[in-house]
Amino acid sequence: MSNDPIHQFHINPISPPIHFGAIDATFTNASLFMVAGVAVASGFMAWAMRPQALVPGRAQSVAEITYGFVHGMVRDAAGDEGVKRFFPFVFTVFMFVFAANMIGMFPYWFAPTGQIIITASMALMVFATVLIVGFAKNGFKFLKLFVPSGVPWYILWFVVIIEIISFFSRPLSHAIRLWANVFAGHLLLKVIASFVPMMAAAGGMLVLGSVIPLFMTVAIYALEFLVAFLQAYVFAMLTCIYLNDALHPGH
């Protein structure tokens, strides 16, 4: 059914089945649009920076502003050491999420960030990076992350448990935030847009009324572009904040 609002999130294989042992690695439309996201992000940066002019042209200044924006974000959240260690990672994450969100805005195209498995695997990648870098850099001092200073000993054990649960709930809320925004936005767009043909088909005064959901669709579309940028920014920002904990575990 073409009016099914969930239909846009269906994953369909577009290649013959590929299996590596128990792993199903079939190339699907989700894979295609993730590859497209990587291609758009890296292709744009490579193309825009090709002149390497001292006085940048239009495309080059867009690329440089993006670079400076993420650079400032990492420096604010994680300090100069964070820039040295994590800037390429955060920049890659930001560009990928932003490109994937923007690609998802095209009608009939697929939004990869509307799949929770994709946001969850990125959030778990950040989580694993925090754990590995934290233990590699600080050793067992990394566990000080769970022990806030200045707490009397009789409630300390309770606070430690709370901090541990809070730490493990991070990748979940990190993944859910991006996914829920993209998913809910696209769902809302589809539902409101489907009111237009429904009201137009109903006849009578409702044909004139079908202009209202049309305008709402346009307005929500504009809002979705804002959300696409904002959620990429929030995702990268939270990545910086969590990575900062790996570098400086003491509160």
Partner 1 sequence: MADRNPPEDRLDDLRRRVAEARAETASTSQPPDSAASLALRFGGEFGAAILVGALLGYGIDFFVHTSPWGLLIGIGLGFVTGVVNVVRVASAYNRANPPDPSAPRIADDDD
Q: Which residues bind to partner 1, rule: CB under 8 A?
A: 69, 72, 161-162, 165-166, 168-169, 172-173, 176-177, 180-181, 184, 223, 226-227, 229-231, 233-234
Nearer to partner 1, 99 or 120 (CB): 120
CB of residue 72 to partner 1, shortest distance in Å? 6
Rg of the chain over all Cα atoms, to the nearest angstrom: 22
Owner of token pair 């009939």: 108
Give least dist CB 223 to partner 1, A: 8
Which residue lies nearer to partner 1 by CB, 32 or 159? 159
List CB contacts of 75: < 8 A, sequence separation 6 or more: 82, 83
At closest approach, how far in Å is the CB of 180 from partner 1? 5
CB-wise, 183 or 195, nearer to partner 1?
A: 183
Nearest residue (CB) to partner 1, 47 versus 225: 225
Number of other CB atoms surrounding residue 136 within 10 Å: 10
Tokens of 86: 């994590």
Helices (H), the chain: 29-48, 58-104, 116-138, 153-202, 206-209, 211-247
Largest CA distance in the chain: 73
Shortest distance, position 218 Cβ to partner 1, whole Å:
17
